Structure formats: C-alpha cells, structure tokens
Amino acid sequence: MSSLCFNKTGILFASWIILAFITGCDGSKSQSGVEGNINFKGSPLDQGTIQFFPESGGAPVGSSLIANGKYTIPKSPGIAPGKYRIVISSGDTKAPPAEAMPGQSGPPAKERIPAEYNSGSLKNPVIREVGSGINQIDFDIS
C-alpha cells in the first residue's frame, strides 16, 4: 500500500515540474515586447534593421526587420526591461552596386542612417528604456 502512495506522490511531483517548465518558471513572463515607427527624413523608413544592445555592452538581445516604417519585437521571446543602446541600419538601395570579384558578393550597400543611430556610434549612442509589457518606441531620423 505504501508503494502506491509513493507512486502518487512521485507522479504529482513530476506533474508539478512539467507544469512549471511549460508555464515558464524561468522568468520569461517578465519579458517585454517593443514596437514602433521609424521615420527617415520625414517619411516612413522603407527597409532596414533595428537592434537592442544592453547599455552595459554585449551582444544584441533583440532585433527586428524594419518595413514600411514599422518594427516589432514580440513579448515572446522579447527582451527584459532595462536600458538599451539602439542601432538602426538601412543600406542605400538606390546607389549603384559596387563591383565584386567573380564568385564573391560585393561590399555592403552604403549606410544611409546617420552614425549616431547605427553601429558606428559607440561614442554618443542612442539609449532608450524598455519597461514591462508592450513598449512603443518611435524614432524620427533626419
């Protein structure tokens, strides 16, 4: 009879562990989403990328493609609340492509976003704070 009790307890414990794993006991519920509009020279930015780097340094923790002036980082997987260095990049699609050696891709398109917004700007970075929930963070770039 006692072995039956042990089995019920073991099953209950295993069920609790599985439930905790499925529902995100790891703290992922505290992740935040970020969305926004990006205007470039008065119009929605047609294409590009946005990345969120921890203010203290390190690899990006969130990124999104920009299309028609909009970007979205969903709450899942999302990013943790905090301060982030923002990097916005968009190559000039109207510039003629650079010549490349046969079998190689050419150099990247010329960056059209000012240095203060892209990866070339570590001296005076653009910093934004992400709070809990869904955040609306917009940019007007001239």
Q: How far apart are CA 34 and CA 82, in angstroms?
A: 12
Tell me the C-alpha distance between 14 and 37, whole Å.
46
One domain, residues 16 and 37: no
Q: Do residues 92 and 43 both lie within one domain?
A: yes
**pLDDT for residue 94:** 76
For 48-90, what is each residue's pLDDT tens digit? 999 999 998 889 999 999 999 999 999 999 999 999 999 999 9
Whether 14 and 42 map to the same domain: the answer is no
Judged by average pLDDT, the poorest of 34-48, 51-65, 118-132 is: 118-132
Place of tokens 């109207």: 94
Tens of pLDDT along 88-113? Answer: 999 987 766 566 567 776 667 789 99
Which CATH number does the domain housing residue 125 bear?
2.60.40.10
Question: What pLDDT does residue 118 have?
Answer: 82
CA distance 88 to 66: 9
Average pLDDT over residues 24-32: 63
Residues 22 and 88 in one domain: no
1 Cβ contact partners less than 8 Å away, ≥ 6 residues apart: none
In this structure, the answer to whether residues 12 and 81 fall within a common structural domain is no
Contacts of 64 (CB under 8 A, 6+ apart): 34, 49, 50, 71, 72, 73
- The rounded percent of the chain whose pLDDT value lies above 90 is 55
| Domain shared by 22 and 36, yes or no | no
In a shared domain, residues 35 and 19: no
Total domain count for the chain?
A: 2
| 60 in the same domain as 129 | yes
Co-location of 9 and 78 in the same domain: no
Band (28; pLDDT cuts 50, 70, 90):
very low
Range of the domain at 70: 31-141
Q: Both 110 and 55 in a single domain?
A: yes
Distance CA 108, CA 49 (A): 14
How confident is residue 31, by pLDDT bands cut at 50, 70 and 90? Answer: very high
Q: How confident is the model at residue 119 (pLDDT cuts 50, 70, 90)?
A: low
Same domain, 54 and 101: yes
Handedness of CA 55, 60, 65, 71 (dihedral sign): negative
- Return the pLDDT at 102: 73
Same domain as 100, residue 38: yes
